Amino acid sequence: MRRRTRGNMAIEAALFIPVLVLLIVGMVQLGKLTYVYHTVKKMVYAAAREVSVQQGVNFCDLANDPAAQAALRFALNDAGGTPIIADLTPDMLQITTQCLTGPCDTGGCPVISQRPDFVVVSIPNGYLVRVRLPFLDIEPIALRPSVVVPFGGIS
């Protein structure tokens, strides 16, 4: 007895195409996530490097230091002053210092007795990126890049 096989290919394609689409969209979203992480990491590095070459940075009060804030604005904006990533603000970045012996001693503020060896710039709360996959509700992923750059300026 002969079996009818008409339509098998259509049924197999109907079962396979959604899986294939989900894989392709997933690869695109992974590429987007990697690109955003690389961009944010480069921006954090640019901020760290800019702070590390500044002269006279007040490490006791980095939140109000004009040189540190200018370095953050320089790193986060393009030449025209437009933000490179719209949701990333200077308030999200944190600048700290490190010494070879551990955390730097800032007990003598406003005059720091110990010159920092490294400048650390990070995003402690993370930069949230939403990954979009069809039929899946995924929580936003927090990117937390951190960069350590040798300090070359005079504090």
Q: Which domain holds residue 57?
A: 11-150
Taking only the tens place, the pLDDT of each residue in 7-58 is 888 888 889 999 999 899 999 999 999 999 999 999 999 999 998 888 888 8
Beta bridge mates, 148 = 120
φ and ψ of 93, to 5 deg: -90, 145
Cα 17 to chain center, whole Å?
A: 34
Q: What is the 3-state secondary structure (H, E, C) of the chain?
A: CCCCCCCHHHHHHHHHHHHHHHHHHHHHHHHHHHHHHHHHHHHHHHHHHHHHCCCCCCCCCCCCCHHHHHHHHHHHECCCCCECCCCCCHHHCEEEEEECCECCCCCCCCCCCCCCCEEEEECCCCEEECCCECCECCCCEEECCEEEEECCCCC
47 part of a folded domain: yes
1 part of a folded domain: no
Count of structural domains, the chain: 1
2 part of a folded domain: no
pTM: 0.81
4 part of a folded domain: no
Taking only the tens place, the pLDDT of each residue in 120-154 is 999 999 999 998 887 788 899 999 999 999 988 66
Torsion sign across C-alpha atoms 5, 9, 14, 15: positive
What pLDDT shows up at residue 112? 60
